[in-house]
């Protein structure tokens, strides 16, 4: 029997996956809120914790008791990720460390007030989007009429996944794009493909047939994960190491939480063991990421082998790690800008709270000319999204090199006179607050609508809520940055360029791989027996 079938013998009759996930988040939120009330009962901390408790509960309850995770799984994932990355994980980490939630923040009251407005606006916008047919119908139209013929919603065969993953590996570690060259950007655009082999267990579970031999595939997947970690250390790519397992976890949750599928008893046991293992590994992973940060300046100066060796030596040098942690704590008082907040660097990679706080702290003192300058800078960055030949054809005189700075750089430049070009992380919510002021909820509404439409266009509702491999390969990005982001201009770039680029890259590479496999009489896409009511582009049966 398919493990997705709720009638499985060891299923818990009163517990669905959605209830388990959101119920657990709700209970832990209550526990961490009570912990904060005990360890830091000062008014500012209590107000901030209260705002987070109310708005996070709103998101959890909305996702729990509505059908949003069924009808709009990807935008719902983005909404959940926004809550976790902007405030919930920070509350959890600080509570476990028995530190005040507002400790190490510059403007906590303003930060969590703005985030509260953002959460209220996001939930309202998502509700309207799901229930107003012209809006929800837009994503369905794009999925079926535009993306359908490209076959991007079809399940790839195992050999196809490995071919796509190998191309993604080449793009991740042989390319780049930081230098701005066309070749580097092309290679960087392939990187999301590297995660596709991790989808093999899911596809095996979904098809309910002999999709592949998992006894053969599991060792290959483990070796693939180990290779990614090794190359990540060799190239000093800290964030890459944990994205794979997180991607797989998020994909699992996307599918399991779509309906009222019941939790199996053995999953509870495995989940508890996995959580215990993860908690035990967090300090080790945090030290590894710190060691990689310390050796990062050597990335372009030594060979990959030497960098791995130096990273390992730093990791085992407890005195050096302790000194680095102490220096980070001192930077709070010595530097005009810092990113120190959570003690665990692993969790710090998953939270955006400090970035929002930094930008809102600097942005609250903006004069009118600073706000106008911010609008102009964002507009120019949007215009710069056009290719240079398009700018020339439109007779737009714009030197893109003059825009080689982040929005975070702009905030620091206008407030403390810091030079541009450091690429400090910014905050889209700070941009919206500074630019729109009391009109922020209205602006948020119109910013989020196209985001939700483009996200859910990668879902085929008439095919049993099947989700494109593109979305599965970018699940972490949707979770972490799907709603928020570094700036308004980057969010516009994500909507107008990045999402479409992923679709075109995947469709093109898939077409090439399909052609090559046909030369060897191999099928590239899984094809279930046809059933009445499903169009030719569907790849799953409707249950």
pLDDT at 50: 97
Specify which residues 264 forms β-bridges with: 11
Say whether 349 sits in a helix, a strand or coil.
coil
pLDDT at 408: 93
Cα 218 versus chain centre, distance: 25
| Cα 370 to Cα 434: distance, rounded to the nearest angstrom | 9
Q: How many helices (H) and strands (E) does the chain have?
A: 26, 4
Assessment of whether the complete model's pTM goes beyond 0.85: yes
Say whether 13 sits in a helix, a strand or coil.
strand
pLDDT at 48: 97
Q: Token match 């991790």: residue?
A: 198
Find out whether 181 and 173 touch, Cβ atoms under 8 Å.
Answer: no
| Cα 260 to Cα 15: distance, rounded to the nearest angstrom | 9
Span 232-251, pLDDT tens digits? 877 777 767 777 778 888 88
Tokens of 528: 């279930």
| Cα 479 to Cα 264: distance, rounded to the nearest angstrom | 25
| Cα 166 to Cα 196: distance, rounded to the nearest angstrom | 10
pLDDT at 185: 67
Specify which residues 262 forms β-bridges with: 16
The one-digit pLDDT tens for each residue of the chain (543 residues) are: 344 444 455 778 888 889 999 999 999 999 999 999 999 999 999 999 999 999 999 999 999 999 999 889 999 999 999 999 999 999 999 999 999 999 989 999 999 999 999 999 999 999 999 999 899 889 989 988 889 888 898 889 999 999 999 999 888 777 554 444 555 667 778 888 999 998 888 888 888 667 888 889 999 998 998 888 888 877 777 767 777 778 888 888 888 888 777 888 888 888 888 888 877 877 887 888 788 878 877 777 777 778 888 888 888 888 888 887 777 766 655 567 888 888 887 788 889 999 999 999 999 989 999 999 999 999 999 999 888 888 888 888 888 888 989 999 999 999 988 889 889 999 999 999 999 999 999 999 999 999 999 999 998 765 544 788 898 888 989 999 999 889 999 999 999 888 898 999 999 999 999 999 999 888 888 866 444 444 444 444 333
| Cα 440 to Cα 117: distance, rounded to the nearest angstrom | 8
Span 195-220, pLDDT tens digits? 999 888 888 888 866 788 888 999 99
| Cα 368 to Cα 353: distance, rounded to the nearest angstrom | 26
pLDDT at 461: 64
Tokens of 91: 């509350």
| Cα 472 to Cα 437: distance, rounded to the nearest angstrom | 36
């Amino acid at each position: 029997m398919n493990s997705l079938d709720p009638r499985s013998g060891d299923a818990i009759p009163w517990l669905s996956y959605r209830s388990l996930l959101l119920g657990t988040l709700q209970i832990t939120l209550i526990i961490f809120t009570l912990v904060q009330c005990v360890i830091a009962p000062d008014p500012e901390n209590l107000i901030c914790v209260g705002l987070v408790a109310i708005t996070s509960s709103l998101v959890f309850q909305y996702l729990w008791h509505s059908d949003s995770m069924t009808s709009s799984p990807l935008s719902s994932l983005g909404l959940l990720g926004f809550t976790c990355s902007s405030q919930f994980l920070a509350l959890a980490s600080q509570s476990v460390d028995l530190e005040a939630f507002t400790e190490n923040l510059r403007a906590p009251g303003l930060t969590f007030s703005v985030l509260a407005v953002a959460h209220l606006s996001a939930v309202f916008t998502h509700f309207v989007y799901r229930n107003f047919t012209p809006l929800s119908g837009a994503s369905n139209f794009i999925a079926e009429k535009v993306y359908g013929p490209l076959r991007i919603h079809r399940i790839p065969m195992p050999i196809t996944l490995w071919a796509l993953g190998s191309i993604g590996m080449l793009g991740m570690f042989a390319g780049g794009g930081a230098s701005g060259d066309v070749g580097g950007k092309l290679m960087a655009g392939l990187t999301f493909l590297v995660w596709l082999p991790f989808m093999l267990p899911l596809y095996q579970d979904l098809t309910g047939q002999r999709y592949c031999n998992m006894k053969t595939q599991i060792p290959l997947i483990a070796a693939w994960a180990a290779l990614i970690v090794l190359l990540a250390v060799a190239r000093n790519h800290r964030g890459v190491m944990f994205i794979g397992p997180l991607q797989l976890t998020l994909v699992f949750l996307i599918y399991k939480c779509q309906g009222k599928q019941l939790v199996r008893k053995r999953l509870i046991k495995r989940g508890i063991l996995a959580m215990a293992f993860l908690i035990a590994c967090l300090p080790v992973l945090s030290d590894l990421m710190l060691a990689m940060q310390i050796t990062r300046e050597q990335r372009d100066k030594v060979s990959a082998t030497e960098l791995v060796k130096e990273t390992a030596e730093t990791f085992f040098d407890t005195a050096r790690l302790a000194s680095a942690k102490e220096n980070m704590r001192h930077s709070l008082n010595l530097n005009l800008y810092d990113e120190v907040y959570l003690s665990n660097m692993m969790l710090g990679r998953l939270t955006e709270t400090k970035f929002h706080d930094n930008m809102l702290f600097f942005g609250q003192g903006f004069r009118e000319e600073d706000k106008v300058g911010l609008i102009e800078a964002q507009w120019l960055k949007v215009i710069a999204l056009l290719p240079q030949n398009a700018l020339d054809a439109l007779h737009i005189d714009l030197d893109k090199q003059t825009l080689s700075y982040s929005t975070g750089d702009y905030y620091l430049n206008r407030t403390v006179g810091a030079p541009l070009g450091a690429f400090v992380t910014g905050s889209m919510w700070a941009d919206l607050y500074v630019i729109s002021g009391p009109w922020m909820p209205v602006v948020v509404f119109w910013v989020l609508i196209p985001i939700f439409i483009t996200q859910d266009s990668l879902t085929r509702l008439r095919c049993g809520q099947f989700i494109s491999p593109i979305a599965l390969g970018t699940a972490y990005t949707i979770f972490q940055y799907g709603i928020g982001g570094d700036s308004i201009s980057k969010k516009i770039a994500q909507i107008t360029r990045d999402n479409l680029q992923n679709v075109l890259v995947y469709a093109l590479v898939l077409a090439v791989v399909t052609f090559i496999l046909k030369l060897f009489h191999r099928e590239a896409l899984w094809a279930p027996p046809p059933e009445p009511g499903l169009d030719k582009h569907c790849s799953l049966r409707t249950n």
